Amino acid sequence: MDRDTLIRIAYERFAGFAKPVRCTLHDDDCPDCREHNQTLCLADHRSLSIEQIGSTSWSPIPHMSPAAMAHFMPRLMELALKNTADVDGGPFAVRFIHFVLEGPAGNQFQLFAEAHRDLVFGVLTTLKEKMADLIETEGWRAELETALGRWGLAGVTPSALAAKESETK
C-alpha cells in the first residue's frame, strides 16, 4: 500500500474518535498537563502542527489521554510517514516509534480496536520499508523491531490491510 493510501485509511478508521473536551491525562492541577491541554485545545487531528507537537523534552503527546491519542493518531501517522522534521530538526518518524513503543497494552492506546492496532503496525512496517537507513542512522532499529513485535501480534501486514480494505468496498 502506498503512503498516501495508508494516510487516507488512517483518517477514515480513526474518524469515530471526536476530539475530547479535555485532551490530557491529568486536569489543571498538573501544571504540565494544564499547558499541554491548552496547546491541544488549539488544534484538531487535521491541524496539529509540528510546532505544537514540540521538542523531545517538551511535547503534549506523552501527556495525551487515551481519547486524545485516538483522535490525534492519524495526524501523528501522517507526520511520521511524510518524514516530517520536528522542531529540533530530528525525524518525527523516530519519535513516532518512541510514542508507540509501549505497544497496544499501553494506557494511551486502550481505546484502539483491532482495526486501529493493524494501522499502527502498518505504519511501522512502512517506516521499516521506506526509512530503514534513516532509522538505522538514528539508532532506532532495535526499538522499531520491538514496536513491530508488540503491535504485530495478529501478524497483519499492510498487504493484508489493503485486502481487508477492498473487502469493505
- In the complex with Zn ion, the residue whose CB is nearer, 27 or 114, is 27
Q: Which of 33, 69, 80, 97 binds Zn ion (CB under 5 A)?
A: 33
24 DSSP 8-state letter? B
Please classify residue 15 by burial: count the beta carbons closer than 10 Å to its beta carbon, then call 0-12 exposed, 13-18 middle and 19+ buried.
exposed
DSSP codes joined into one string, 84-111: -B-TTSSBHHHHHHHHHTT-TTSGGGTT
- In the complex with Zn ion, the residue whose CB is nearer, 30 or 160, is 30
Nearest approach, Cβ of residue 78 and Zn ion (Å): 26
Nearest approach, Cβ of residue 27 and Zn ion (Å): 8
CA 2 to chain centre: 17
Only one of the segments 26-34, 41-49, 74-82, 126-134 lies at the binding site for Zn ion (rule: CB under 5 A); that segment is: 26-34
DSSP codes joined into one string, 27-88: -TTSHHHHHHHHHHHT--TTT--HHHH--SSS-SGGGB-HHHHHHHHHHHHHHHHTT-B-TT
Nearest approach, Cβ of residue 51 and Zn ion (Å): 21
Helix H or strand E encompassing 169 = none
Q: Which of 8, 22, 26, 34 binds Zn ion (CB under 5 A)?
A: 26
Only one of the segments 29-37, 66-74, 112-120, 137-145 lies at the binding site for Zn ion (rule: CB under 5 A); that segment is: 29-37
Instruction: Tell me which residue of 136, 148, 7 sits closest to 73, measured CA to CA.
Output: 7
- In the complex with Zn ion, the residue whose CB is nearer, 30 or 148, is 30
Nearest approach, Cβ of residue 63 and Zn ion (Å): 5
Is 30 a binder of Zn ion (CB under 5 A)?
A: yes
Only one of the segments 19-27, 50-58, 91-99, 115-123 lies at the binding site for Zn ion (rule: CB under 5 A); that segment is: 19-27
* Chain residues that interact with Zn ion, rule: CB under 5 A: 26, 30, 32-33
